[in-house]
Amino acid sequence: MAVDPTDEDVVYAGTEPIHLCRSEDRGGSWEELTGLQDFPEEVRFNWWGPNPPHEGHVANIFVHPDDPSTIYLCLEHGGVVRSFDRGATWEDVSKGIDYLDMHVLRALPGSRSRYFVSSARAFFTSDDPARGWVPTHNGFTRDYFHDFVFLSPTQDGGIPTMLVATADKSPGYWDRPEHAQTAFFCSTDCAQTWERVGAGLPENMGPWAYTLVNHPLNPHGAFAGFGDLVRGPQHAATYGLGSLMATYDAGESWETLPVEVTATSGL
């Protein structure tokens, strides 16, 4: 789900199978944006899931804060699609992405053209998604990417710091003894280069950091939701114990918060 950042009455909800609905009254009533179903079969053929009933779903909804008529959807699996008219019509903008297992898309704060998207195989950037996406690998030692946030620049007037949660291989492998092998990486140059952060964290963290959110009071802070998540090829996700961690210095150090939670997939 996503709330229009310019109008809190407007809420979008994506589903499995892939559909999109909008509410204009904070969820009191809904209408389906049926234009999403108008893609040709060669595009919809890629809308699938690895587990029964093998349906794809809307993994992430991005409503641009500077132009709420612009909406991007991450489809898992299915690629990236966008609308310039609040969801009435859509176009596929997945060029350059080979494996269409998409997770989270965000725009560079203050930009109408620079976008980033995470996937199960790479982290991508684009200045024009219709022309294609380019993977950024410089510095990563992991190959599975999910949530990421923008933090305040390290210098006044500088580029926002990016913090991303990563893992080794996909969830189907996480029943191994090492589990997810979670690691955090930081970029201060718009994803051109990445550096691993997290002093004191285990080299191979077992629980997966599924979600990241900005700290509401600390511009360099973020919270991460963790959980033991295993998903084999023939069964759905199984959630175990969870935890919450916080960083106040752009991922350089972390502390575990004194709360008891199950595996946390959203904050």
Q: What is the pLDDT of residues 69-87, one digit of tens each?
A: 999 999 999 999 999 999 9
Does position 99 have pLDDT exceeding 90, yes or no?
Answer: yes
CB of 184 closer than 8 Å to CB of 222: no
98 shares its domain with 145: no
Does position 234 have pLDDT exceeding 50, yes or no?
Answer: no
Tokens of 236: 């759905």
In this structure, what are the phi and psi dihedrals at residue 38, rounded to the nearest 5 degrees?
-90, 0
Domain count, the chain: 2
Would you say residue 44 lies in a domain? yes
CB of 175 closer than 8 Å to CB of 232: yes
157 shares its domain with 224: yes
250 shares its domain with 148: yes
**152 versus 242: which is more confidently predicted?**
152
Would you say residue 36 lies in a domain? yes
Would you say residue 130 lies in a domain? no
**233 versus 66: which is more confidently predicted?**
66
Would you say residue 128 lies in a domain? no
What whole-number percentage of the chain has pLDDT above 70?
96
pLDDT given for residue 172 in this prediction: 76
Tokens of 217: 């009071």
pLDDT given for residue 232 in this prediction: 41
**60 versus 171: which is more confidently predicted?**
60
- The predicted model gives 151-162 an average pLDDT of 87
Tokens of 94: 């997945």
- Rounded CA-CA distance 34/236 in Å is 28
Tens of pLDDT along 200-225?
Answer: 898 888 888 989 999 999 999 999 99
- The predicted model gives 131-155 an average pLDDT of 94
pLDDT given for residue 206 in this prediction: 82
Would you say residue 175 lies in a domain? yes
**Domain C-terminal end among 82, 102, 122:** 102
What is the torsion angle, in degrees rounded to the nearest 10, for the CA atoms of residue 131, residue 169, residue 108 and residue 136? Answer: -60
pLDDT given for residue 235 in this prediction: 41
71 shares its domain with 151: no
In this structure, what are the phi and psi dihedrals at residue 118, rounded to the nearest 5 degrees?
-105, 150
Q: Domain limits at 78? A: 1-102
Q: Which long-range contacts (CB under 8 A, 24 or more apart) does 193-202 make?
A: 193/138, 193/139, 194/136, 194/138, 194/139, 194/140, 194/164, 195/139, 196/139, 196/141, 197/163, 197/250, 197/251, 197/252, 198/251, 198/252, 198/253, 198/254, 199/252, 199/253, 200/253, 200/254, 201/254
Q: What is the DSSP letter of 199?
A: B
255 shares its domain with 178: yes
pLDDT given for residue 233 in this prediction: 37
Would you say residue 235 lies in a domain? yes
Mean pLDDT of the chain: 92
pLDDT given for residue 242 in this prediction: 86
- The predicted model gives 40-63 an average pLDDT of 95
CA distances (Å), origin 184, targets 38, 111, 187? 38, 24, 10
155 shares its domain with 242: yes
**182 versus 177: which is more confidently predicted?**
182
pLDDT given for residue 248 in this prediction: 97
- The predicted model gives 29-52 an average pLDDT of 96
In this structure, what are the phi and psi dihedrals at residue 34, rounded to the nearest 5 degrees?
-70, -15
**97 versus 155: which is more confidently predicted?**
97
Does position 226 have pLDDT exceeding 60, yes or no?
Answer: yes
140 shares its domain with 267: yes
- The predicted model gives 178-204 an average pLDDT of 93
80 shares its domain with 163: no
User: Which residue in 160, 170, 201, 159 sits closest to 184, CA to CA?
Assistant: 201
pLDDT given for residue 236 in this prediction: 43
